[in-house]
């Protein structure tokens, strides 16, 4: 769904890094699945059969590493990096877990959800199970069932240069997760301390304790633009997984959107896209008449945390505009 403003003779649409975003000042996103997921909130990339909405108000998920990379994803209104505070909260109910479902791959494999970079995660050479060299821009809840060395919870940060943040054995926690119980999970990241704190409870009783994860001093940065429940392919891995469960009551606490207050304005100097951007982001106006080919209009503009504008050329009645958002 495009959010549009209608000036004389053309329509203005707003999109970000190739994706449509909602114009809102809310810093929270919440989904309880009481209604069927809609395309303006959720998309599926890959195997649709792995994600099934249930009318009782939950999402039934299959993590099957024999399939191609598949994501049930929600595009963010911003691009997150290590200088942003954020939090993920969700309910997870595990129903079944089986390792070694792919021939010759008996080892453990991750059950995952968290933040991804859509362009990276949907690339044909993105192999989560292979790890270093192919995986970049992730902030994830990863649980590895026991294959002989103990079940392991390992929240993970992968950088823009395809490196896992690793400080040592305290990054992960040996932790078995119970079946058929609603697990309330919170992952809260503090930019000031570069630390992710993960907590979990079932029926009001804590599970854990779970080690905090502090980014390694050598860790560069990440850029993520979507929340996803991720079923990864086991290509390149020695392990494999088939698991089923339910996800409910997802809440994301995020910084303000990268763009707010989009409008078209006209002065004696001409026509402009007017909006409020954020410091640290770069903006480019683009136009199209067919939604297949987009053309840059006006200069690249740095965000200022204040109202600003980009000059545009008046076009035909069927012309559309968007703002592309970049974060260096």
The CA distance from 128 to 62, in Å, is 17
- What is the enclosing helix (H) or strand (E) of 5? strand 4-5
Say if residues 248 and 279 touch (Cβ distance below 8 Å): no
Q: What is the CATH number of the domain that holds 210?
A: 2.60.120.200
**Mean pLDDT for all residues in the chain:** 89
How does residue 316 score in pLDDT terms, banded at 50, 70 and 90?
low
> Structural domain tally of the chain?
2
* Mean pLDDT value of segment 58-75: 97
Placement of tokens 């769904």 in the chain = 1
What's the DSSP call for residue 143? E
Same domain, 239 and 266: no
The CA distance from 136 to 94, in Å, is 27
* Host domain of residue 217: 28-253
Cα–Cα separations (whole angstroms), residue 319 to 8, 114, 298, 312:
11, 36, 16, 12
What's the DSSP call for residue 120? H
Same domain, 13 and 155: no
Say if residues 120 and 126 touch (Cβ distance below 8 Å): yes
The whole-model pTM stands at 0.87
Same domain, 182 and 274: no
How does residue 160 score in pLDDT terms, banded at 50, 70 and 90?
very high
End-of-domain residue from the set 237, 253, 269? 253
Same domain, 213 and 75: yes
The CA distance from 96 to 72, in Å, is 19
């Amino acid at each position: 769904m495009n959010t549009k403003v209608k000036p004389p003779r053309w329509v203005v649409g707003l999109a970000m890094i190739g994706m449509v975003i909602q114009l809102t000042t809310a810093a929270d996103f919440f989904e309880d699945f009481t209604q069927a997921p809609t395309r303006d909130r959720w998309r599926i990339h890959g195997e649709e059969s792995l994600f099934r909405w249930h009318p009782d108000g939950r999402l039934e998920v299959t993590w099957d590493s024999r399939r191609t990379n598949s994501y049930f994803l929600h595009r963010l209104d911003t691009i997150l990096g290590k200088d942003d505070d954020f939090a993920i909260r969700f309910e997870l109910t595990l129903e079944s877990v089986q390792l070694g479902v792919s021939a010759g791959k008996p080892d453990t494999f991750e059950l995952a959800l968290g933040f991804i970079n859509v362009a990276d995660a949907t690339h044909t050479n993105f192999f989560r199970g292979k790890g270093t060299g192919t995986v970049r821009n992730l902030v994830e809840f990863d649980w590895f069932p026991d294959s002989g060395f103990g079940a392991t919870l390992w929240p993970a940060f992968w950088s823009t240069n395809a490196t896992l943040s690793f400080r040592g054995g305290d990054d992960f926690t040996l932790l078995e997760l119970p079946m058929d119980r609603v697990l309330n999970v919170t992952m809260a990241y503090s930019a000031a301390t570069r630390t992710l704190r993960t907590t979990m409870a079932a029926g009001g009783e804590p599970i854990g304790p779970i080690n905090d994860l502090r980014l390694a001093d050598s860790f560069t940065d990440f850029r993520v633009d979507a929340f996803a429940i991720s079923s990864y392919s086991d290509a390149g891995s020695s392990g494999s997984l088939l698991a089923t469960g339910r996800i409910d009551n997802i809440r994301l606490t995020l910084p303000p959107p990268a763009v707010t207050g989009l409008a078209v304005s006209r002065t004696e100097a001409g026509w402009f896209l007017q909006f409020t951007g954020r410091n640290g982001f770069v903006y480019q106006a683009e136009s199209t008449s067919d939604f297949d080919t987009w053309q840059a209009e006006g200069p690249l503009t740095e965000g200022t945390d204040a109202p600003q504008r980009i000059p545009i050329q008046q076009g035909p009645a069927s012309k559309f505009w968007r703002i592309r958002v970049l974060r260096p």
